[in-house]
Each structure stands twice: as C-alpha cells, then as structure tokens.
Structure 1
Amino acid sequence: MPTRSSRTFLRVMTWVVGLCGVALLLGGGWLVAVGGSFYYVVAALLFLTTAVLLHRGRPEALSVFAVLVVGTLIWALYEVGFDWWPLAARGDVVFVIGALLLLPWVARPLARRTVADALDGRGAALSPVAGHRAFLAASLLAAVAVAATSWFTDLHRIRGELPGTRLGVGDGGVAEGDWLAYGRSQMGQRYSPLTDVTPDNVSSLQVAWHFETGDEPQPGDPEETTFQVTPLKIGERLYLCTPHQNVIALDATTGAQVWRYDPVIQGELALQHLTCRGLSYQSAEAAAAAAPQAAAPAEPASPSQPAASTAPQGTASELAAGGGLTAPQEDAATPGASDGAPVDETGGSADPGLPVAAANARTATCDDKLFMPTADGRIVILDPETGAVCANAGGGDGQIDLWDRMPNVNPGSYYSTSPVIVAGNSVIVGGTVLDNVSTAEASGVIRAFDITTGNLLWNWDSGKPNDTQPIGAGETYTPNSPNSWSIMSADEALGLVYVPLGNQPPDQWGANRSPEVEAYSSSIVALDIRTGQPRWHFQTVHHDLWDYDVPAQPSLIDLPIGDEIVPALVQPTKQGEIFVLDRRTGEPVMPVVERRAPGGAVLPDRAAPTQPKSAISFDPPPLRERDMWGATMFDQLACRIAFHGLAYGGRFTPPSLDGSLIYPGNFGVFNWGSVAVDPARGVMFATPTYLAFTSRLVPRPDSRTLVVNDSQPQGALPALNENFGAPYAIELGPFTSALGLPCQQPPWGYVAGVDLTTGETAWMHKNGTTRDASPIPLPFRMGVPNLGGPMMTAGGVAFLSGTIDDYVRGYDVTTGEELWKARLPAGGQATPMTYRGADGRQYVLVVAGGHGSLGTKRGDSVIAYALP
C-alpha cells in the first residue's frame, strides 16, 4: 500500500521531470533554430513523456526514462568520448533523476496503480513495475560503467620524457647560490644550477621561514592590485617590492627583516593595475667596469624638484651601523589631480610634481645599487646594504624621472610595472600605458638613462624608430604608441636588449594606426644597448585587434641545432605560439609559416589576411558547439546557444558589433610569467592556459559619455574600456555561463615539457584543482588557469605556484610528474625562485599574495622551503 509520502514524492518527481522537459524544449528549440544540436529537443520530448506517464501512474515511465539515459549516453560518447568532465555535464541531471525514479517511493504507487487498472478492466494484463525498474537500473549501471572507464582515461595527456644534459653551460656571471635578476640573470631563463633538491627528495621540503610584509589592501586601489614579485638574492640577503611599492630586505637564511624603504608615492593615481614584479641590481664591480658612454646627451633629464636634501648623508657602512631603515617625511607626497596634468598647446605636458627620493629619505654614497620602478613614474636607486637612497645616482636625486618629455601626463597612467635592464652604467626602461581608456595616453617609448647622472642616453620611439638621439627638453614622444609593459632580456655580449612590445591602445580598434605602429606592434624588438638603434624585429601578430601583446620575457638560450650551437631566443605569446629565433638576427630557428586568418573586421578597420604560426605551438583547436560545457545540461545548453550567437571563425576572429568569440582570449595561453628553460638540457617547462573571451565593439556617441561603465570610478582611477576619442568602446570578458563557469570544457590549464632542439612536446598534462575556484572547496583535478611563471633547477625539479588553487607544486622535469605540493595562505601569482642560504641549504622561495583580477585570495606572505 503506497503511503501519503510516496504519493507526494511521486507528484514532486512528476513536476520536476515535467519542468525539466519544458526548459529543454524551449532551450533546445532555440538551439535548433540557430543551427545547433537536436539532442535537447529529443530529450525534452522524452522528459515530457515520462512526466505524463508518471502523472497517470504508469510504470512505463521508467522505461521511457531508461531510453533517455541510454540515448544520452550514446550521444555523449559520440561527442566527447571517454572524457569525464564533458560526460558529466551531459549526463548528471539525467542520471540523478533516473536514480530518484528507482526509489521505492516511486515504485510503490506505480505498482499499485498497475494492479488497480488490471482489476478494473482498464488494463489488458498486469504490467509489472519490476521489469521497467530493471530496464532503468540497467541503463544507469551502463552510465556508471562508462563514467568509471572515463575516470581512468586521460584523453588530454601526452606521456614521454625529456632528454638529459647535452650542453656544458656556464653560470652566466651569476654565483651558483644567487638570483640577481627577475629571471635569475638578464637572459630570462628562470633556471638555477643548484642540485640539492631532486625528484627523490623534493617531497621532504618543508617551511623554513614565513615572512609577512604587512602590505594590505587600501582605499582607492585598482581591482588589479597584485603581489607578483620575484625577489632577488644577493649575498646573504633577499630584496623584494610590494604592491604598494615598499622595498624590503630580508635575511635570506632566517627571513628576518633587515630594512624597509617607502618611496612616498605621489597621491591619487590613474592606475589600471598596481604591482611591482621585481627590482634590478648593479654590482660595484659592474659599475666600475662600465665603459663611459660614447656621447653625453645635450640635455639632462629635467628634475621634478630641486635636488637639495636635508636628509642625513654618509657612507653605506656608516648607515648600516645605524640600522639602515629609512624615515620618509610624512608630507613628501604631492597629490595628483584626478584628471591628469594639463597639456600645453604645443603637445608638451605640465610637470607632474613628483616627490624626490633624496629629499625625503636617508642618503648614502652607494657602491652596489638596487633599482625600484615606482607607480608614480620614477626609478628610485637604493643602497642594498642599508636601504638608503643613492646620492651618487640620478644626478644627485637618487631617482630618474620617467615623466620627463612624456606626452599626456596623468600620474599613474604610465609607469614600469617590471624591473629595468641594467647594462653597463645605464638603465633601459619601458612602461605600461593605460589600455582601452583613451586615444590620448602616454608614449610607449623605450629609454636608456645614465645611472650616475640621470641623463637620457637614447630613446627608441616606435613613431620615429630610426631616430634614437635624445629629443630636446621641450619635445615629447609619440603619444599612444605601443608599449613594453613586460620584462625585457639582454645579451650584453651581443650588445642587444630584447623588448617584448605590446599593442597601441585601443587594442581592439586599429583603423587609424600609422605605418610605424603597424610595423612594430606586438613584436619582439632587438635594440642596440649602446645607441638604441633597432637591429631587428619579429612581429608575432599582424594588425593586432585582440590585445595579443607580447606579454612575456624572452628567454635566451644556446641550442644545438644540426651541427651548430645557435644563440636562440624563446618567445611565448598570448595566442599560444612559441617562437624560437636566432637572437643575433631575428630569423626563425624553428619554422614559422603564415596561415590564413578570418576576415570580417568592422569597417573602416581591417583584419590581416594571414598570421604567423610556429612549429612549437600551444594554439588550441578551434572551438565547436560540442566543446561547450557547464555544471549541468541546462547551463551547457545555454552556452551552446551563446556560442552560436557570437561571431567565430577560429583564432583571430575580429571583434564585432554583435559580439565575437576570442579564443584564446587576451588572458593569454602564456602571459607575463613566461616559461623556464634549462640551458644544459635544451628543454622548456611551459604552463599553457586556455580561456575563451568575448569581445564586442560599442559605438561611442561622443568622446566623453560613458557607454560601458555605469559610473565614473572613484578618485583618479580610469574608466576602463571606454576608448575615449575612438569611435568604439569595447566590452570584454571571459566566456562564462550564468553560474560563472567557463563555457568551454576543461582542462583550462596544463604543464608541458618541450625539447627545444626538435620542437617536440615530450609530455603534457592538466594541472591544478578547483579547490579555491568553486563555492564548495572540492579539489577536482580539472586543470585550472595559471598566472605566474615556472622555475627549473639543475636538480631536475621545476616549481610553479601560479595556478588559481593556492598551492606551490614541484614537478619532475623529465616526465612532468607532480612530486610535491604545499598549501599556500593566498594565491601564488608570482614566479618562484631558489638560492643557497648561509647555512648551506638550498631554499625554494614563493610569494603568496593573490591577484585582484583572478579573484584569488589576497595576502602578504613570503615563504621559504628547504629540506630538513
């Protein structure tokens, strides 16, 4: 006898199944109308038939639903094979409802109705519910068998091994236990010759010390406030900078703070992002060996304020005895106007009124020097021993003014987020400009300054690419030109600095670009260190409409190619290409071909007919409707409909007025974290990420009205993506479902090992879990996005902390196997480094501070790991 609860449960199930059928019929009909799959309409009819039979109390409802389970299983296998997460999105709702229909609370009332119908003459014969339940149970068991098979099947893995040591390599002038530049040396390899930590013992790594910087979020911070620093290790100390621009020296063995310097940043700044990726270093020996510049510039850089200082002065040793802590004056910062400084009629810009480092802190005569780029547009030069400002640098100011001769001065809208290149007695610096805010931004000029005098030595302006003599004090550089916001590399033996160049804002509209911009945009440019003259350039994207800046530091490595050792440059890109070039000439070492690209740009703009593709490529296959994903069949259906509503012809589909699908998106397959290369083995450790974005051009009625922002941001922060002065604003965002999940199926992140001498990807597997990216902290190993670079060691272990789950991991370089991981207190969106401490141990150091745009947990941790 069915109970009241059984009848109630059956009614609830009837409504659930019926509502699912209605939703699928409406959505499935829409999908068919736009040219998509018929599955959802067929499934809807089976849902509705099941609901009607349940309402009538017919046990045949179970068999009809079993047909739906079997049909869904066959369709899912046809679309994605034994790939668990895509299978789950297609079958989870069907399986759960099928399992509920097997419960006794459904079977009892169905069996009772069947018997009653037969006795009343309404049924020709008894229709036992057991047979229908068995059919449904068998279909669900088949689904479980397919699921279980998929759990042990990885369709996304490449298995293999990288070769061992093939080359004898030197230390690049860096002591074995030190880390003297962002990529350890200015060759950008992110490789250490230390061998203490190996695949056999890496699992024994444990926390040696943990330092917290105290740098917390502040009112007025931009959303993209990030702790991305890779510290330097020089002698017995570590040197790092924080998002809010403090410089900190730590004892490398104990993690104790030695000194801290606050550069007293100017007031409200028009910041798109706030970060400091690292510092740069010049040793006393390198300074002494630096040859004098061939020709002194006619005009020194204009000081922001008088260089006179009332701060205490002394030698480095004298200040060290006093503790070396700076004491910035409270009133040193000069607030900046929120709308930027006025521009005069000749195109020059009013002085931004920067603070002067030497006027607001303890000073010293420095032998060694640290270089700190600041968010208000300076390079501050510090004594590594004490943290004092160098009175014998920057013409006595202890700083270099990057706003000098810059057009469209608006403090915060231009600064160097990345460490500078130090070559001889010069610093070479680029800087980030605001993306997609206006057509009247600062210049992307690359400049070299004399460290001692602060004088401008040369300027490479892509608007006048062959005229590198310093411009006059009353002149300004080409506004709104392509900029280099990422990290440069240098080969001082060849006398070349390698500049990864971005796009001209606005990124997604290029109708008015000059021939010079067209030539150099999104290129790697090799400049003569001494003169700034361009020696060669290689364009990675033609007529870039996708924000495919060259985002990563080039890695310089000598490779055995045929019978020759080739001085090579390895350049990762946002679109997934790894270009391997001869760094002497820019000629490809690995083949590069031009492939046809989609057209259809909004007139009068255009799209380039072809785009370069490298023999080493992590370019993902084009997306199809079957690649859409969701937590359930319903949001997957919505993503399928959205997919058909976007313009998409594969990679390099131009932005459109109705919306385009951009894959890979401007997050990039590779970003500023770059790759790591092992110069002894000739191999690369890479971290490809795959996320689709959408891009829509929005017509602007005038140059002032907000069209993609609801209100003007607070303070001086810019209204992003408005493109003031251009005919279109831009709407950009990840291609996600209503639940906030990517519409494309996982994996979204991998680690990969590549033999750079053959171009072969020896191994590749998905990397990272969803533990910190979902409302419920379930560590599903789906392969998640990464932002932050890897590091390799001669011990055969690579380290990475940039995944959006809060872990640092160690991998076997040869096979790619994950060998060790440790939980971090915040997002690890920085590149790890390693060094030897005074106690003789090898330390692995990780910065865990999170990333505003990624939504990873914010923090202020610097953590060192070592073997017991």
Structure 2
Amino acid sequence: MPAIATGILFILIGLALGIGGVWLVALGGSWYYAAAAVGFLATGALLAARRSASLWVYALLVAGTLVWAFAEVGVDWWQLAPRGDVIVVLGLWLLTPWITRRLDRPAADRPPAAWRGAGVPLALSLAVSAAVALYAFASPPSRDITGRLPSAAVTPVPGDYGGVPAGEWHAYGRSNLANRYSPLDQIDSGNVDRLQVAWHYHTGDVRRPSDPNETTYEVTPLMVRDTLYLCTPHNFVIALDAETGRERWRFDPKVPDDSNRQHLTCRGVSYHEAQGAAAAESCGRRVFMPTADARLIALDAGTGRVCPGFGENGAVNLWAGMPHKKPGFYYSTSPPVVTRDLIVIGGAVNDNVSVNEPSGVIRAYDVRTGALVWNWDSGNPDETAPIAPGETYTENSPNAWTTMSADEDLGLVYVPLGNAPPDQFGGNRGPTVERFSSSVVALDLATGQLRWVFQTVHHDLWDMDVPAQPSLLDVTTDRGVVPAIVAPTKQGDVYVLDRRTGEPILPVTEQPAPQGAVPGDHTAPTQPTSALTFKPPRPLEGRDMWGGTMFDQLVCRIRFRQLRYDGRYTPPSVQGSLIHPGNFGVFNWGGVAVDPVRQVMFGTPAYLAFVSRMIPRENPTERYVTDGGLGLNENFGAPYAVELKPFVSPLGLPCQAPPWGYVAGADLRTGEVAWMRHNGTVRDRSPVPLPFEMGVPDLGGPVITAGGVAFISGTIDYYVRAYDVTTGERLWEDRLPAGGQATPMTYRGPSGRQYLVVVAGGHGSLGTKAGDSVIAYALPAN
C-alpha cells in the first residue's frame, strides 16, 4: 500500500509540475520543470504498479536535477537547496523498506528490490547530491568579495573634528559633517568581543492601537557633556545620565493621534549651544524636536522646559505657508540641521495619495527666536526671501524627508531630495520639479540661494529618493585634497562629489536606460552611474529565482517571465514591472559611515526586488488598490494608481535568491569595493527560528570608530554586531530584545569609559519586534 500511495503522490506532483512547467516553457523559461514532471509521472506510474524500475527512473531524475542545478548556479548552497530539497527527501523515502520490500513482489527468501540492484543507482545519485550539497554549504556565496581596505592614515583629523569634542556626539551623524565617525579608540578590534551591557533603559513609549503600520523606532541619541538626548516614536524627548542611563527629564509634546499619518517615527533631536553672553541666558543650550503634528519645539537642554522666546510659546508652526493643509499629511521625521545661527528643516509628505499634497519647501529659522529667515521652494527656486502672509509654497514639490548635512566654513547646507508624488508617474511634472527631483542640492546657508544641484536619477519613476544624509570629508586626489560630499542612493550608486561645486570626484557616466513608459509619461534616455557603485552586478535571470522548494521557485519563475523586466530602471507598466533594486533601496535613510582619516567607507547594501503595476484610473476619486485608510498608492487625481509590493513567493519568501544583505567596505579615493560579505540570519524571519546565515537587509546606519571597528544593529534579525573595518570580519555580536532598526552611536562617559549605545524598538513595515530599549555597552570596568 505505501508504494501505491507514494505512486499517487508522485503522479500528483508530476501533474502540478507539468502544468507549471509547460506554462513556464510557453513564457520562454526553463524546460527543466516540464522534464521533471515526466520523471515524476513515470516514477509514480511504476510505483503504483510496484515495479522496481521506478527507482531507476527516479535515479535519472535525481542525477538530471543535479546536473541542471549545477549548470545554472554552480555550488551556491542557497540556490541549490530549493532545486533539490524535495527531490532528495522523496528519493530517501523511496529507499526505505516500506517502499522497496513491496516492489516486484519479492519471494520471502529474496532481498528487497533496493538491494538487488534497482536501488543502487538511486543511492549513488543521492550520495553524489549530498556530497555536492555539503561542499556548497561550506563555500561562501559567489557574490562575496574578499579583500582589505588600506589601513594607513591619509589625513589625520583634530580631536574636535567637525567641531565636536572627541568623546561626544552632537548631531545625528555626530556632527554636521555627518561622517558617523568617532575618534574614540578605547574599543578596538582586539577587545571588542569583551563588550558587555553597562545599562539598559526603557522609554515606556510603546505602540498604540491607533498607530500606523509604519510606526518605527529609528533614533540615534545625542551625547553632550554628560547627558544623552533622544526622542521616541510618539515624540517624547528624554534626557539620560550618560554614565548610568538614569532619566534626568522627560518632555511630552502631547501630539494627538491621527489616522492620516503614513509614518510615526523619530530619528533624532538636534542640539544648539549659544556662544558668548547668550550662553548664560535661559535656554542657552537647546534641544530641538520636530513633531508628528508639524511643530518645531525648542527645549532647555538642562531642564526639558519649553523655551518661551522661540516661535510662539516655544514652537514654530511648520504648517505656515503650506498648501493643502490636511492633518497628518506633512511632518518631519528627521532631525533638522542646526548651525551657529540657523535651524534648517525639511519635511515628509505622504507618498502617492494624491496630486494635491503639501510642499517640500526647505526653511531656515533663527535658532534663538524661531523667525523665518529664508525658504527654498523648488517650484520657485530663485525667490528665497520669506513668503508673505497669505501666500503658499509650491504644492507637490520634491521633499527632503531625510537628514541634511552642512559645511559652515563653506556656508552651505546639503539637501537630499526625493521626487514629487506620485512616485511612479511623472507625466504631470513641471520643469523645476524635473530639475530637482531625486537630487542633492547645495544651498547658501545665509540666504537659501541655490549654489549647485546634482541629479542622481533623471525623471524618477521608481521612488529612488536620495534617502540618506550625505557625508562630508576631504578626499586626497591627483589634484590635491578636495572637500568632498559622499551621497549613497537607493539604486546603489555612491556619488563622491566636490562639495564646493557638485562636480564628480569619482567619475560619473550616463548609461542608456530602458524606454517605454505608460501612456502620458516618458522615460529619460540615460541614467547616471557612479564609478563607486553597489548596483546589482547583472540583471536578474530566471536562474536567480528562488523559493523554499522547487514548487514556489517554479511560481517565482513564472511570475518573473510574466513581468516586464529590462534591468535597472525598467519603467513601471500596466503589465507589471520588476523593479530591482526596489524602492527599499540598496541604501536607505541609515546611509553609510566614512572614516575621514583613512578615507574609506563602511556600508550595508541590500537587494530586494519589488513589483510595480500601474492601474489606469477611470475617475479621480475611486479607490483601486485600497479599501480604506489614507489611500496610499491611489494617486487620486492622477491617471494611474499603483500596486507596489515586494517580489515574493507564495510562501512569502523573496523570489530572488539570497544573499539579500551585506556589509561592505570601499576606498573613497579609488572607488574600489575592497570587500563585501553577506551578513545576518533568518532567525527572526522564518517560521522555525533557525540561524541560517543567508545575508539579510539592514535598515539603519553604521557607525565607524578610530579603533578600526564598525557597528550596526539594523538587520532584520535582532543583533548588534561589530566588524573589522579593514577586512569586514565579524568580531562580536549580542542579542537584542527587539528589532534594532536605528543607527548606533558611541561616546566617552565622565568616567572615561567608551560606550556604544543601541536603540531596539522595532520597525512596523519590516515586521520586526517592537520594543522601547536603549542599551549601552562598554568594556568591563576593571
């Protein structure tokens, strides 16, 4: 009976593979699945007839699968596994006595068929498959790069580099230069594995039923003198003792709940310290907090009380001058840039809801009074004087939702911009929007006037915002030392530009781009590519499709063939387009860390494909992709709604093969990627918590230190990890109580100990565990 039942199972598998395999062949894909279907059907029929020839046929199927799999992907374990897991398991079942003793009805004194010769070829084919699998499992993924970054100092920097004392952290990227580099070296590659928890603080700010799905905890705390300053997703501002983690004060801005918000997060607060006589006045040291209801609040850094002389009762109303005032549709999730005299702030606009959204204007306020000093509106870029009462800024313009950086010596603020909503349709965009969309712009700090603009994507149809705070350092070139800006992008290019002019230091070339946008739109004929790039090494192919088993891999192959895909920058389509890299980004808001002494970069590139399908709208108000809520991706008023989702298998696994995430090191002088290692496990993302090191995405930035160590905590498994900057070798890791999707920071406490601080609060859309932890690590006190 087991042989007959197994035969029926094989026939059913063969029928399923046959239907899918023929479908795939009709789409121009691999013939393997159709051929495998024949093997399953033949094996099943012979098993049902209790014929030992079934083992011979299945041995041919196992051997053929091994040859085909090796030809497609070599000895890449995670590529081989779904091609062979079902095949091998079923082969082992066929060799069990419950099957073999019933084949050919052997006499009582005759051995089972498996040991009369029929099972020998099958056993051999399975043994060879196992040997190949073991070898592949021990081999590194083919995309890993092994090498070394230069370790010698190129340009030593002062202890107060960036205007920040060596042991402190005054801004989101440590200083307005945004290197995420600390000159501290007490923790180094030789002792980092001795780190232990020094203190653990709980903010008490937990998720509420009314919160949006995109409720995240992405804060990087500041450390000034002996105090840490941080915020929470609901915009509480908290001050902690830097040595003990004890709470010193807490401020609640009482932000009302609002179902219209797409995001609820806080990446950080900003700090300002007055100079001269003003330093002794009340609120001489200030912490600035942008809130989810579009206020900019100034607090006394010592007490947490509101600074009454700033704006109205301590707050500036960021809705002033905005068109289309809809609560929840405009706010700032990122800390503003604070200079000697100004606080410069952008804001986030809800993506893809309608064509009537608030403005992406950049505004500068007096750091003491909150008076508007200038406004740069990309729809009216030459008029930067404060707009008159009753006037409004340009609607729907590109916005700066992420963090800016600044060079006060050059008098410039550097603004990373997104594109104008809707993200995937640009047929209605005007010439100024086209000029500034998905660009880095340099504005004069004193006046807001445009100094230069560098566009990273022409006519962006993919939501490829410049997502991260640019980093500033001096780079040694053949022309001498050049003040540089390093701008990582979602599409994987890292642009190294002269920050005085926007001219490339590392070469940038224009490459032909796929054509054929939806009716009413167009595509740019070329797209820029930097010499320093982490773009996918080649376009995806059918052999790159993946799954937990051969069945969902087959589904992914069929879906891949059904989608439009012409490589990077495939235009969105009504058919449905595969977008790789997807709008999750190779790099996102966490950016990269740069060492200004060695002039090297540490980053965490990620690779996840998305599907973008344009849905023609018959009227401006009907819902096509949502049942309620904000109407994200409806694009009310535009010709198309958009269905945008990850490219995943029926099991919810990425359809593209791992690794999906790496750590990487690059030389900023040459543009060479010296090493790149897959990083992170699926322990917290798989149904069974197995720590398979497959390489997973990181959402959160790195920090790099003079001790030659880099730290990250943003992988979708719950760990903080340390790496050797020179080689990428992992040196240490510790388990976190929740998702750590934030950028760590490091400082020296009053006792002289160097601390590493990690925030673990989870990320809504990534589905990582929520929490409220702020954790400090240090070497043992003795």
Under TM normalisation by the shorter chain, which class is it?
A: over 0.9
Of 117, 122, 125, the match for 1:136: 122
Query: CA–CA distance in 2 between the matches of 1:157 and 1:456?
Result: 50
Of 715, 718, 736, the match for 1:806: 718
Residue 451 of structure 1 is matched in structure 2 by 367
Query: CA–CA distance in 2 between the matches of 1:169 and 1:414?
Result: 39
Q: Does 1:43 align with 2:21?
A: no
Query: CA–CA distance in 2 between the matches of 1:719 and 1:603?
Result: 23
Residue 555 of structure 1 is matched in structure 2 by 471
Residue 601 of structure 1 is matched in structure 2 by 517
Q: Gaps spanning 5+ residues in structure 1: where?
A: 1-7, 120-125, 290-314, 317-364
Q: Does 1:12 align with 2:5?
A: yes
Residue 166 of structure 1 is matched in structure 2 by 154
Partner secondary structure for residue 674 of structure 1: coil
- CA deviation map 1:54-82 (0-9, x unaligned): 11111111111011011000000110001
Residue 277 of structure 1 is matched in structure 2 by 267
- CA deviation map 1:499-519 (0-9, x unaligned): 000000000010010000000
Q: C-alpha displacement at 1:646, in angstroms?
A: 0.4
Q: C-alpha displacement at 1:579, in angstroms?
A: 0.5
Mapped contact 2:285–2:301 kept (Cα < 8 A): yes
Mapped contact 1:287–1:425 kept (Cα < 8 A): no
1:363-378 equivalences in 2 (<5 Å): 365-378=282-295
Mapped contact 1:287–1:424 kept (Cα < 8 A): no
Query: CA–CA distance in 2 between the matches of 1:524 and 1:288?
Result: 34
Q: Gaps spanning 5+ residues in structure 2: where?
A: none
Q: Does 1:783 align with 2:677?
A: no
Q: Does 1:412 align with 2:402?
A: no
Q: What is the one-letter code of the residue matched to 1:262?
A: D
- CA deviation map 1:556-580 (0-9, x unaligned): 0111112501111000000000010
Q: What is the one-letter code of the residue matched to 2:129?
A: A
Of 415, 430, 434, the match for 1:514: 430
Query: CA–CA distance in 2 between the matches of 1:419 and 1:184?
Result: 12
Mapped contact 1:110–1:129 kept (Cα < 8 A): no
1:358-397 equivalences in 2 (<5 Å): 365-394=282-311, 397=313
Q: Does 1:224 align with 2:141?
A: no
Query: CA–CA distance in 1 between the matches of 2:319 and 2:144?
Result: 49
Q: Does 1:797 align with 2:714?
A: no
Partner secondary structure for residue 527 of structure 1: strand
Mapped contact 2:162–2:176 kept (Cα < 8 A): no
TM-score, structure 1 length as denominator?
A: 0.88
Query: CA–CA distance in 1 between the matches of 2:148 and 2:368?
Result: 49
Q: Does 1:675 align with 2:668?
A: no
1:202-351 equivalences in 2 (<5 Å): 202-268=192-258, 270-285=260-275, 288=278
Query: CA–CA distance in 2 between the matches of 1:453 and 1:831?
Result: 31
- CA deviation map 1:558-612 (0-9, x unaligned): 1111250111100000000001000000000000000011011011100111000
Residue 618 of structure 1 is matched in structure 2 by 534
Mapped contact 2:170–2:271 kept (Cα < 8 A): yes
Of 11, 24, 28, the match for 1:31: 24
Residue 343 of structure 1 is matched in structure 2 by none
Partner secondary structure for residue 458 of structure 1: strand
Calculate percent identity across the aligned residue pairs: 61
Residue 632 of structure 1 is matched in structure 2 by 549
Q: What is the one-letter code of the residue matched to 1:168?
A: P
Mapped contact 2:103–2:113 kept (Cα < 8 A): no
Q: Does 1:720 align with 2:632?
A: yes
Query: CA–CA distance in 2 between the matches of 1:418 and 1:853?
Result: 18
1:674-753 equivalences in 2 (<5 Å): 674-710=591-627, 712-713=628-629, 718-753=630-665
Query: CA–CA distance in 2 between the matches of 1:240 and 1:132?
Result: 70
Q: CA separation of 1:46/1:861 partners in 2, compared to 1, >3 Å: closer, same or farther? A: same
Mapped contact 1:416–1:430 kept (Cα < 8 A): yes
Mapped contact 2:329–2:357 kept (Cα < 8 A): yes
Partner secondary structure for residue 6 of structure 2: helix
Query: CA–CA distance in 2 between the matches of 1:604 and 1:479?
Result: 21
Residue 354 of structure 1 is matched in structure 2 by none
Asked which structure has the greater CA Rg, the reply is 1
Query: CA–CA distance in 1 between the matches of 2:611 and 2:209?
Result: 30
Of 184, 193, 197, the match for 2:174: 184
- CA deviation map 1:384-418 (0-9, x unaligned): 10000012322x52111111111111122111110
- CA deviation map 1:285-323 (0-9, x unaligned): 28959xxxxxxxxxxxxxxxxxxxxxxxxx98xxxxxxx
Mapped contact 2:211–2:259 kept (Cα < 8 A): no
Query: CA–CA distance in 1 between the matches of 2:17 and 2:76?
Result: 23
Q: Does 1:755 align with 2:677?
A: no
Partner secondary structure for residue 390 of structure 1: coil
Residue 146 of structure 1 is matched in structure 2 by 132
Query: CA–CA distance in 1 between the matches of 2:258 and 2:78?
Result: 46
- CA deviation map 1:431-484 (0-9, x unaligned): 001110011110000011112232211111000111111110110000110000
Query: CA–CA distance in 2 between the matches of 1:429 and 1:392?
Result: 19
Q: What is the one-letter code of the residue matched to 1:511?
A: G
Query: CA–CA distance in 2 between the matches of 1:536 and 1:602?
Result: 32
Partner secondary structure for residue 110 of structure 1: coil
Q: Does 1:582 align with 2:498?
A: yes
Q: What is the one-letter code of the residue matched to 2:156?
A: G
- CA deviation map 1:242-290 (0-9, x unaligned): 000100000011011110000111453521101110011111228959x
Of 770, 774, 777, the match for 1:862: 774
Partner secondary structure for residue 69 of structure 2: helix
Of 152, 156, 176, the match for 2:143: 156
- CA deviation map 1:4-30 (0-9, x unaligned): xxxx32223212211111111011011
Q: C-alpha displacement at 1:184, in angstroms?
A: 0.3
Residue 442 of structure 1 is matched in structure 2 by 358
Query: CA–CA distance in 1 between the matches of 2:48 and 2:636?
Result: 60
Query: CA–CA distance in 2 between the matches of 1:390 and 1:794?
Result: 37
TM-score, structure 2 length as denominator?
A: 0.97
Query: CA–CA distance in 1 between the matches of 2:135 and 2:276?
Result: 61
Query: CA–CA distance in 1 between the matches of 2:116 and 2:527?
Result: 62
1:50-89 equivalences in 2 (<5 Å): 50-89=43-82
Query: CA–CA distance in 1 between the matches of 2:548 and 2:276?
Result: 57
Q: Does 1:830 align with 2:742?
A: yes
- CA deviation map 1:91-145 (0-9, x unaligned): 11100000111111111111535x59x99xxxxxx98753121111100010011
1:470-489 equivalences in 2 (<5 Å): 470-489=386-405
Mapped contact 1:459–1:469 kept (Cα < 8 A): yes
Query: CA–CA distance in 2 between the matches of 1:562 and 1:663?
Result: 35
Query: CA–CA distance in 1 between the matches of 2:663 and 2:572?
Result: 30
Q: What is the one-letter code of the residue matched to 1:773?
A: R
Q: What is the one-letter code of the residue matched to 2:493?
A: E
Residue 104 of structure 1 is matched in structure 2 by 97
Q: What is the one-letter code of the residue matched to 1:741?
A: L
Q: C-alpha displacement at 1:217, in angstroms?
A: 1.0
Q: What is the one-letter code of the residue matched to 2:119?
A: R
- CA deviation map 1:720-743 (0-9, x unaligned): 111111111110000001100000
